[in-house]
Amino acid sequence: MKALILVGGYGTRLRPLTLSKPKPLIEFCNKPMILHQIEALVEANVNHIILAVSYRAEMLEKALKAEEERLKIRISISFEEEPLGTAGPLALARHLLLEDNEPFFVLNSDIICDFPFQEMILFHKMHGKEGTIAVNKVNEPSKYGVVVYDNRGQIKEFIEKPQEYISNRINSGLYIFNTSILNRIQLKPTSIEKEVFPEMAKDGQLYAFELKGFWMDVGQPKDFLMGMSLYLEFLRDTQPLSLHQGPGIYGNVLIDPTAKIGPNCRIGPNVSIGPNVVIEEGVCIKRCTILRDSSVKSHSWLDNCLIGWKCCIGRWVRMENTCVLGEDVIVKDELYLNSVKVLPNKSINASVPEPNVIL
């Protein structure tokens, strides 16, 4: 079985992290984002994964080569000369998708959930129509594609970013299609949500599969941290031993075994700490991701931060409200950063008390 993952462009919403690494390789809970999807697809017997990307990234290709060998699957990269939107890449990869007549998965690359792909396949085969969209319930549906369907799951309406409330079920960004969908899509920039789904719905060819577990689009920092919290809770239910326990650890905390945590720290809830990270004495960290090779010096306090690779945070630093540090950022002692995005290789020498971007 095949799957196509819509990776797309530069991942600007996750800058400054994506200035150092292609988005699919950014570690979400200590595993590259794309691997969460790829490994779940492999579990569901997918053996050929096509990545639709619109920019060349040697780093990505190299990493995927390694995964290809490790997972013993085929990974193709379908490169777009110009961005083709969310449907165009299917036309571009047409020759790969038509290698057999099996249905295939299509995934938005920013999605984190428990990926119930096997149940999706069963559901898709059961209704026998052209497409299945995973849907989930959210509180604020207006920024998503909203789906209205009947009790058998047949989709009646698909409206992208509606102005007024229609339903609280939204498109989760995980699909299964029969190859016949390719007849609806031409090789040009096309939106699958705006141009293809409404037509399929009209034809009665689109069904909704309800996700039961957590779901998050982690394409921007705030949602990344939210998604992290949900994923750690998911780990608590499914693999509790992967979470860290001990004195000073509160709630769900994931710590790579190579990371070092000093005495008298207060870590958690909802913290993910990457390989070789060093947390010195008396540090308090809540709701943060700290990527590999970074260090946090004594007595600092971090809440709601995304710390990039090789960063060094000084002593008595306070950072909060979705600060994002790019790779190799140094924050000097005793500073306060409030909702600040710092681009890679910067050294911060003065407090930034108001939301700002440090170039």
Query: Which sequence positions are flagged as catalytic?
Result: 161
**Residue 285 or 291 with smaller CB distance to other proteins:** 285
Q: Is 355 in the site for other proteins (CB under 8 A)?
A: no
Dmax (CA) for the chain in angstroms is: 63
Per-residue contact track with other proteins, 276 to 295, x per CB under 8 A? -----xxxx-----------
**Residue 110 or 280 with smaller CB distance to other proteins:** 280
Number of chain positions touching other proteins (CB under 8 A): 18
CB 332 within 8 A of CB 348: yes
Q: Is 320 in the site for other proteins (CB under 8 A)?
A: yes
The span of 2-10, 213-221, 243-251, 312-320 binding other proteins (CB under 8 A) equals 312-320
Residue 265 beta carbon to other proteins: minimum distance, rounded to whole angstroms: 10
Residue 263 is classified by DSSP as T
Residues 6+ away with beta carbon under 8 Å from 257: none
Full strand arrangement of the beta sheet holding 301-303: 266-267, 284-286, 301-303, 318-320, 336-338
Residues 6+ away with beta carbon under 8 Å from 352: 335, 336, 337, 338, 340, 358
CB 48 within 8 A of CB 98: no
The span of 115-123, 125-133, 156-164, 310-318 binding other proteins (CB under 8 A) equals 310-318
Q: How many C-beta atoms surround the C-beta of residue 125 within 10 A?
A: 11
Residue 300 beta carbon to other proteins: minimum distance, rounded to whole angstroms: 8
Footprint of other proteins on residues 241-280 (CB under 8 A)?
264, 266
**Residue 241 or 350 with smaller CB distance to other proteins:** 350
Residue 301 beta carbon to other proteins: minimum distance, rounded to whole angstroms: 4
CB 260 within 8 A of CB 57: no
The residues with which 104 forms a beta bridge, in sequence order, are 2, 177
DSSP-derived 3-state class of residue 176:
strand
3-state helix, strand, coil in the chain (%, to 5): 25, 35, 40
**Residue 60 or 284 with smaller CB distance to other proteins:** 284
Residues 6+ away with beta carbon under 8 Å from 225: 270, 287, 288, 289, 304, 306, 322
Provide the strand spans (E) within 122-252: 131-137, 145-149, 155-160, 169-177, 206-210, 215-217
**Residue 76 or 338 with smaller CB distance to other proteins:** 338
The span of 49-57, 111-119, 192-200, 313-321 binding other proteins (CB under 8 A) equals 313-321
Q: Which of 10, 214, 234, 301 contacts other proteins by CB under 8 A?
A: 301
Token pair 């939107």: residue: 85
Residue 332 beta carbon to other proteins: minimum distance, rounded to whole angstroms: 13
Report the amino acid identity of residue 94.
Answer: R
Residue 271 beta carbon to other proteins: minimum distance, rounded to whole angstroms: 15
In degrees and rounded to multiples of 5, residue 230 shows phi and psi of -65, -40
Q: Is 316 in the site for other proteins (CB under 8 A)?
A: yes
Q: Which of 9, 240, 353, 355 contacts other proteins by CB under 8 A?
A: 353
Q: Is 303 in the site for other proteins (CB under 8 A)?
A: yes
The span of 12-20, 75-83, 241-249, 297-305 binding other proteins (CB under 8 A) equals 297-305
Q: Is 348 in the site for other proteins (CB under 8 A)?
A: no
Q: Is 114 in the site for other proteins (CB under 8 A)?
A: no
**Residue 180 or 264 with smaller CB distance to other proteins:** 264
Q: Is 156 in the site for other proteins (CB under 8 A)?
A: no
Question: Which residues lie near other proteins (CB under 8 A)?
Answer: 264, 266, 281-284, 298-299, 301, 303, 315-316, 318, 320, 334, 336, 351, 353
